[in-house]
């Protein structure tokens, strides 16, 4: 589909894809050098396809080194990467995966096809298909589907909310929903652009009229349930995605009756969860809060049973 786009769209998409690849490699390199937030050792199962094509349509799983503390398996986070629906990669999940592994929590990082290879509806289908695969193989991977959360950052925050608004009927509801500096109110995003109609949004909406695009894809609507707690976090110095997105989403969910926790950070910009330099204290404070939230919502849920010895995880998909 990329070769059918106008030249200006092809150029910007190519530039963004290249920038996204550079960002992903940069973060992972900084992680290897110990420049990111502290991580722990991790076991991995990588590149498991949920479609015949594989490629972007795969999941990566990050496990603690220690076996599960009880026979239910690991609590886990299904974490969706950002990148404006156009760039970046599930490999970013290794950072948060290693952080949570230190605390006995597994992380599943789904990939998804990017615009303009597909449209937003295709991305939604990918995210659901990835979760369905995890549900099918949870026992094999020692993941506890009675204790999991869904979450994402930036565009992944938007995809998280859209998943929670159109959840697969055959899958148990998560115990928590997490949105980190998410793009929820698409009309607000349109208005935030200097011209009111940016080239970036033209690529994402793929010729759909702006009002129709917003009506179909905005995340500012009720979730599929009102009993699942929601955590929203945002930096107040976020220029690409103003903190108003989070305030708007939080107010809507509270009107639905959802238990919403909001944390904002005065000096933090976009992607602050990866940054130990411009906002190290706020990044550290976020992870303390994040772990406490996950401990309350997915770790200490139900009555644990005595642990049994567990075998090695099968690394082949």
DSSP alpha helix (H) spans, the chain: 7-32, 93-101, 120-137, 155-165, 186-192, 199-205, 210-217, 244-256, 280-294
User: Quick check: is 309 in a domain?
Assistant: no
d(CA 115, CA 12): 12
Mean pLDDT score, 104-131: 96
Q: Check whether 115 has a pLDDT greater than 70.
A: yes
Q: Which of 39 and 177 is assigned the larger pLDDT?
A: 177
pLDDT at res. 113 = 96
Q: Dig out the tokens for 72 from the structure.
A: 């239910």
pLDDT at res. 309 = 43
pLDDT at res. 118 = 94
At 108, the pLDDT band (50, 70, 90 cuts) reads very high
What is the gyration radius of the CA atoms in the chain, in angstroms? 19
User: Quick check: is 225 in a domain?
Assistant: yes
Q: Check whether 163 has a pLDDT greater than 50.
A: yes
Q: Check whether 316 has a pLDDT greater than 70.
A: no
Cα within 13 Å of Cα(253), Cβ side: 29
User: Quick check: is 82 in a domain?
Assistant: yes
pLDDT at res. 12 = 53
Q: Which of 311 and 295 is assigned the larger pLDDT?
A: 295
Q: Which of 84 and 207 is assigned the larger pLDDT?
A: 84
pLDDT at res. 182 = 95
Q: Check whether 196 has a pLDDT greater than 60.
A: no
What are the angstrom distances between the C-alpha of 82 and each of 112, 114, 136, 282?
A: 11, 11, 25, 20
What are the φ/ψ torsions at residue 62 (nearest 5 degrees)?
-120, 125
At 45, the pLDDT band (50, 70, 90 cuts) reads very high
CATH number of 207's domain: 3.40.50.1820
Q: Check whether 240 has a pLDDT greater than 60.
A: yes
Mean pLDDT of the chain: 85
pLDDT at res. 197 = 46
Q: Check whether 223 has a pLDDT greater than 90.
A: yes
User: Quick check: is 7 in a domain?
Assistant: yes
Q: Check whether 261 has a pLDDT greater than 70.
A: yes
pLDDT at res. 248 = 95
Which of 110-114, 195-199, 308-312 shows the lowest mean pLDDT across its residues?
308-312
Q: Check whether 221 has a pLDDT greater than 50.
A: yes
Structural domain that includes position 257: 2-299
pLDDT at res. 131 = 98
User: Quick check: is 311 in a domain?
Assistant: no
Q: Check whether 194 has a pLDDT greater than 50.
A: no
- pTM listed for this prediction: 0.87
Of 133, 139, 181, nearest to 156 by C-alpha is 181
d(CA 228, CA 241): 25
User: Quick check: is 99 in a domain?
Assistant: yes
At 13, the pLDDT band (50, 70, 90 cuts) reads low
At 202, the pLDDT band (50, 70, 90 cuts) reads confident
d(CA 201, CA 191): 11
Nearby residues of 215 by Cβ (< 8 Å), 6 or more positions away: none
Mean pLDDT score, 258-262: 98
Mean pLDDT score, 250-266: 97
Q: Check whether 255 has a pLDDT greater than 80.
A: yes
User: Quick check: is 162 in a domain?
Assistant: yes
At 210, the pLDDT band (50, 70, 90 cuts) reads confident
Mean pLDDT score, 13-28: 59
Q: How many domains does the chain have?
A: 1
pLDDT at res. 304 = 55
pLDDT at res. 192 = 58
User: Quick check: is 304 in a domain?
Assistant: no
């Amino acid at each position: 589909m990329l070769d059918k786009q106008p030249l200006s769209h092809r150029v910007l998409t190519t530039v963004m894809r290249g920038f996204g690849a550079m960002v992903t490699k940069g973060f992972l390199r900084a992680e290897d050098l110990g420049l990111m937030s502290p991580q722990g050792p991790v076991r991995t199962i990588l590149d498991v396809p949920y479609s015949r094509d594989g490629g972007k349509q795969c999941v990566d799983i990050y496990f603690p080194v220690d076996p599960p503390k009880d026979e239910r398996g690991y609590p886990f986070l299904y974490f969706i990467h950002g990148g404006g629906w156009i760039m970046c990669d599930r490999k970013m999940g290794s950072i948060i995966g290693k952080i949570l592994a230190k605390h006995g929590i597994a992380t599943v990082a789904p990939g998804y096809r990017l615009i303009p290879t597909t449209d937003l509806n295709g991305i939604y289908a990918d995210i659901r298909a990835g979760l369905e695969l995890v549900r099918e193989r949870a026992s094999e991977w020692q993941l506890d589907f009675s204790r999991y959360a869904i979450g994402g950052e930036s565009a992944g925050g938007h995809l998280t909310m859209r998943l929670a608004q159109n959840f697969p009927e055959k899958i148990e509801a998560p115990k928590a929903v997490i949105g980190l500096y998410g793009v929820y109110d698409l009309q607000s995003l349109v208005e935030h652009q200097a011209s009111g109609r940016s080239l970036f949004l033209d690529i994402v909406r793929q010729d759909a009229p702006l009002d129709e695009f917003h009506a179909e894809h905005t995340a500012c609507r009720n979730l599929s349930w009102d009993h699942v707690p929601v955590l929203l976090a945002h930096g107040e110095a976020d220029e690409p995605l103003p903190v108003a997105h989070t305030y708007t989403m939080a107010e809507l969910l509270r009107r639905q009756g959802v238990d919403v926790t909001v944390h904002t950070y005065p000096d933090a910009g976009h992607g602050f969860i990866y940054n130990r330099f411009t906002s190290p204290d706020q990044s550290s404070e976020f992870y303390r809060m994040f772990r406490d939230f996950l401990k309350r919502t997915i770790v200490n849920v139900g009555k644990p049973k005595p642990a049994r010895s567990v075998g090695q995880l099968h690394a082949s998909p």
